[in-house]
C-alpha cells in the first residue's frame, strides 16, 4: 500500500489531477478497513488506547513477524548463550505473574519467548505477542547479570503493560493524521497547481504525527522503567543493576558510535530517567553490581559470535595474553579483574576455534582453565569451559576427546549438552555412538517439537546413518518449527514421494503423510486470514 501511495503522490505532484486525488483518497480510506475488524475490547489497563488491539490479534502479528525473523541468518541459535539469557528471563516472567502484571489470559496467549540476534549493536526490542529479541552486542557490553536483567525487565514491561498494542493504535492514528495531511496537500496542488503549497501541508502533517508518536514513546519508556525496576528487584536482582546499566549507556552515548547504539535512540536516556533509577534505589549506597565468572564468559562468547568477520576474530585472538584494561572498581574489584582475564582468554580460544587455529585455541583454553583455578571453584564457569573444550575437539574432529570433556556433566539433562553431543556425533566414526545421539535427540524433539536446531541436528545424524526418510522428515519439521510452512510442505511432499519405495519405513511414511495434511491445513487457514476475500491463485505465505 505504501508503494501505491508513493507512486500516486509522485504522479500527482508532476501533473495534479482530480482523478489522481480520488484514487489516493480511496487508497487512504481503504487502509482503515481491516483494522475495523480487529477492534475487540481488552482487559482494562488504565489506558483507553488498549481497546484497539485484542490479545489474539497481537499474538498473530507477532507470529507473522517471527516467521520472517527465524529464517534470517542473524537469528542466532547458540544453545549456551540462549540458555544463559533464558535463565535471567524466566525469573522475571515468573515474578511479573506473581505481581499480577501478567494475567491468566495474557499468560496463556502470549509466547514469552526470548531470542538472540547476531549483531554487534547494543540493542534489545519487544515484539507483539510476547517475543523479545536481544542483540549480542548488548550482552557483550554488560558487566553483570543484574545489568542485563535490567534491560530484559524493561522490555518485558513493554509487553506486560501492552505498550505494543497501545503504540500500534497510536501509530495507526498518527499515520492517518499524516496521510490526511498528504491528501489535503495533494488536493491543494490539484486546485492551485503549486507543488510548494502542497509540500508545506504534507511536511506540516508529518511533523505533527512524529511529535505525537515521540511523546507517546517517552511516556512508555518511563512506565517500562518503573515497572521493570519493581520486577527485577522482586526477582532477586540487584536494585543497582538498572542505574548501572544507564550509566554504561550514558557513557556510550557520548561516543561516535556510527549507528552502533540504536538502543540509545529508541530508548532515549535523559537526566530524568537516570535520576529516577537512582531514586528508586532509596537509601542504598550505590555499588556497581558485582560480576560473576559465568556472566563474564557469556559476555565474551557474545563478543566473538556477534561479529563473524575474520578481522574481528583476529583481534580477539590477541586477547590470549589476557585483558589489558581493568575496569572493575569498588566492591569485588580483585575478582572482577580476574573475571576480565578469564573472559579474555575464553574469547581468544573461541575466536581461534573459528579461525581454525587449534594450537592457539588449546593454549588459550588451558590458560583460561588455570585462571579459573586461581579464582577459586566455580561450577558454572567450569561447566562452560568444558563445553568450550568439547567445541574445540569437535572442530578438530576428535569426537572421543569431546565426549571425555563432557563426561563430568553426564548427569545433566540440558539442551546444550544434548546438542553438543549431537554435534560431536557428526564427526564420530562409530555408528553406535551416532545412533545413540540420534535416538536421544528423537526423544527430545517428541517433547519439544518447536526446536528447529534440534531437528536440524537430528536430520544430519539420520543422513549419516543412511536413513533418508527420517532425515527429510526432520528437515521438514525444522522448517515448520521456524514458521516456514512453504518450505516444510515442500520437504514433506518430497518425503511422501520417497516413501512409495518398497523398502521405505511405512511407519515413518504414515507420520509424514499425517504431518503433510496438517501443515497444508494450517497454511490454508493462514492464507484465509491474509486474504479474507479469497487467496489469489498461487498465493504463498510471506
Domain segments of the chain: what residues? 32-280, 293-323+331-396
How confident is the model over 467-486, as a mean pLDDT? 95
- Number of Cβ within 10 Å of residue 387's Cβ equals 20
Using pLDDT thresholds of 50, 70 and 90, give the confidence band for residue 313: very high
For residue 278 the three cell numbers come to 537512582
Confidence at residue 337, expressed as pLDDT on a 0 to 100 scale: 81
Confidence at residue 252, expressed as pLDDT on a 0 to 100 scale: 65
157-182 in b/e form (b: 16+ CB < 10 A) is bbbbbbbbbbbbbbebbbebbbbebb
Longest dimension (CA), the chain: 83
Instruction: Give the three-state DSSP class for 123.
Output: coil
How confident is the model over 328-332, as a mean pLDDT? 44
Does the pLDDT value for residue 250 go beyond 60?
yes
Residue 377 burial (C-beta neighbours within 10 Å; 0-12, 13-18, 19+): exposed
487-507 pLDDT per residue, tens: 999 999 999 999 887 777 888
How confident is the model over 301-320, as a mean pLDDT? 95
| CA–CA separation, 357 and 8 (whole Å) | 57
Q: pTM for the full model?
A: 0.80
Which of 391, 426, 396 has the alpha carbon at shortest distance from 406?
391
Using pLDDT thresholds of 50, 70 and 90, give the confidence band for residue 5: very low
418-441 in b/e form (b: 16+ CB < 10 A) is bbbbbbbbbbbeeeebbbebbebb
415-460 pLDDT per residue, tens: 999 999 999 999 999 999 999 999 999 999 999 999 999 999 999 9
Using pLDDT thresholds of 50, 70 and 90, give the confidence band for residue 536: confident
For residue 489 the three cell numbers come to 510442505
Which of 427, 436, 481, 421 has the alpha carbon at shortest distance from 455?
481
Confidence at residue 249, expressed as pLDDT on a 0 to 100 scale: 76
Amino acid at each position: 500500500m505504501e508503494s501505491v501511495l508513493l507512486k500516486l503522490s509522485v504522479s500527482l505532484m508532476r501533473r495534479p489531477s482530480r482523478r489522481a486525488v480520488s484514487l489516493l483518497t480511496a487508497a487512504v480510506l481503504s487502509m482503515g478497513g481491516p483494522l475495523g475488524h480487529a477492534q475487540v475490547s481488552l482487559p482494562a489497563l488504565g489506558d483507553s488506547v488498549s481497546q484497539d488491539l485484542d490479545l489474539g490479534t497481537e499474538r498473530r502479528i507477532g507470529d507473522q513477524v517471527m516467521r520472517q525473523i527465524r529464517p534470517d541468518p542473524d537469528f542466532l541459535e547458540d544453545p549456551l548463550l540462549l540458555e544463559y539469557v533464558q535463565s535471567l528471563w524466566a525469573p522475571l516472567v515468573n515474578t511479573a505473574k506473581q505481581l499480577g502484571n501478567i494475567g491468566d489470559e495474557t499468560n496463556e496467549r502470549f509466547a514469552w519467548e526470548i531470542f538472540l540476534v547476531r549483531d554487534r549493536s547494543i540493542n534489545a526490542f519487544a515484539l507483539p505477542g510476547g517475543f523479545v529479541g536481544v542483540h549480542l552486542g548488548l550482552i557483550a557490553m554488560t558487566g553483570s547479570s543484574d545489568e542485563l536483567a535490567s534491560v530484559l525487565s524493561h522490555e518485558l514491561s513493554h509487553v506486560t503493560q501492552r505498550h505494543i498494542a497501545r503504540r500500534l493504535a497510536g501509530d495507526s492514528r498518527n499515520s492517518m493524521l499524516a496521510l490526511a495531511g498528504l491528501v489535503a496537500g495533494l488536493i491543494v496542488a490539484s486546485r492551485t497547481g503549486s507543488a510548494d503549497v502542497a509540500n508545506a501541508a504534507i511536511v506540516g502533517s508529518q511533523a505533527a504525527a512524529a511529535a505525537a508518536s515521540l511523546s507517546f514513546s517517552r511516556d512508555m519508556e518511563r512506565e517500562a522503567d518503573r515497572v521493570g525496576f519493581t520486577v527485577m528487584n522482586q526477582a532477586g536482582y540487584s536494585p543497582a543493576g538498572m542505574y548501572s546499566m544507564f550509566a554504561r549507556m550514558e557513557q556510550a552515548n557520548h561516543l561516535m558510535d556510527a549507528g552502533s547504539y540504536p538502543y540509545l535512540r529508541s530508548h532515549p536516556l535523559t537526566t530524568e530517567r537516570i535520576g529516577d533509577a537512582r531514586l528508586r534505589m532509596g537509601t542504598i549506597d550505590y555499588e556497581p553490581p558485582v560480576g560473576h565468572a559465568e556472566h563474564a564468559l557469556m559476555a565474551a562468547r557474545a563478543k566473538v559470535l556477534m561479529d563473524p568477520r575474520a578481522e574481528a576474530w583476529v583481534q580477539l585472538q590477541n586477547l590470549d595474553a589476557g585483558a589489558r584494561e581493568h575496569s572493575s572498581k569498588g566492591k569485588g574489584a580483585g575478582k572482577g579483574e580476574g573475571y576480565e582475564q578469564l573472559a579474555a582468554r575464553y574469547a581468544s580460544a573461541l575466536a581461534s576455534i573459528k579461525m581454525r587455529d587449534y594450537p592457539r585455541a588449546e593454549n588459550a583454553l588451558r590458560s583460561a582453565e588455570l585462571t579459573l583455578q586461581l579464582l577459586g571453584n566455580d561450577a558454572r564457569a567450569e561447566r562452560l569451559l568444558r563445553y568450550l573444550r568439547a567445541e574445540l575437539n569437535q572442530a578438530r574432529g576428535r569426537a572421543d576427546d569431546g565426549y571425555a570433556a563432557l563426561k563430568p556433566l553426564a548427569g545433566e539433562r540440558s539442551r546444550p549438552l544434548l546438542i553438543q553431543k549431537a554435534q560431536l556425533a557428526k564427526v564420530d566414526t562409530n555408528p553406535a555412538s551416532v545412533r545413540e545421539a540420534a535416538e536421544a535427540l528423537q526423544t527430545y524433539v517428541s517433547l519439544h517439537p518447536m526446536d528447529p536446531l534440534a531437528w536440524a541436528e537430528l536430520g544430519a545424524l539420520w543422513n549419516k546413518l543412511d536413513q533418508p526418510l527420517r532425515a527429510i522428515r526432520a528437515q521438514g519439521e525444522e522448517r515448520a518449527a521456524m514458521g516456514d510452512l512453504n518450505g516444510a510442505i515442500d520437504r514433506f511432499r518430497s518425503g511422501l514421494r520417497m516413501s512409495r519405495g518398497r523398502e521405505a519405513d511405512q511407519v515413518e511414511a504414515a507420520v509424514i503423510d499425517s504431518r503433510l495434511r496438517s501443515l497444508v491445513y494450517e497454511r490454508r487457514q493462514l492464507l484465509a486470514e491474509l486474504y479474507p476475500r479469497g487467496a489469489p491463485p498461487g498465493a504463498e505465505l510471506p
